[in-house]
Amino acid sequence: MRLMLTLEEKRKLFLITPQDGQKLDFRSFFANDHPLHIEIGSGRGEFLLKSSQQNPGVNYVGIELKEKRISTILKQINTIDHQNIRLMKAYVDSELLSHVPENSINRIYIFHPDPWPKRKHHKNRLIQPVFIENLLPILSPEGSVVISTDFKDYASEIVKVFSQNSGYKSVYEEGFSREPEPGHIVTYFEIKLRKEGFDPYFMRFNKAV
């Protein structure tokens, strides 16, 4: 296959669309059974693109709702360096998760989810008890959820939500770290927020077995 593809050709090659009543067949999408990592909210794609190159033995699926961001990522993808990337244009809810086979995801990344800082809007936050409970069935026994946020109040709430679910165990004694893990990839949003004086809180919650 030639290296240069049009945006529409890339869309057909890299974009996954769940079908009603069917489980997603990731082995078919990637033509292998490598470990599968999902990023919820891929933004401009920095993490997805760099991680896929650093870890060719891992398959990555980036889930993003905004069409503009999907197009931004597609423009950067090529068939030589990013064979282990697929994208989904979707909102992550119980309906979408119902298409994901059980025990199929080794890692889920959620970087800088919208903090909805006003108290009356907290109900709109992604990390909720029902949401993380719905993630458990799709995580493999050794699976984990990796999260970062620059918003202290949200970090505290995330730690509380996960601590109240016996299906998860934090790798950090306090529930978070101010230092990133080795190999951490800095995204546009993290750079922007650090310049504004907001240093991230890093969290990882392993599936308890």
Q: In terms of Cα–Cα distance, which of 21, 9, 147, 20 is closest to 78?
A: 9
What are residue 71's phi and psi, to 5 degrees? -65, -40
Would you call 114 a catalytic residue per the annotation? yes
DSSP string, 48-103: HHHHHHH-TTSEEEEEE--HHHHHHHHHH--TTT-TTEEEEE---SHHHHTTSPTT
SS3 content of the chain, % helix, strand, coil (to 5): 35, 20, 45
Q: Is 107 helix (H, G, I), strand (E, B) or coil?
A: strand
CA dihedral 22, 25, 26, 29 (to 10 degrees): -110
Q: 25, 33, 93, 114: which is the annotated catalytic residue? A: 114
Hey, which residues are catalytic here? Answer: 114
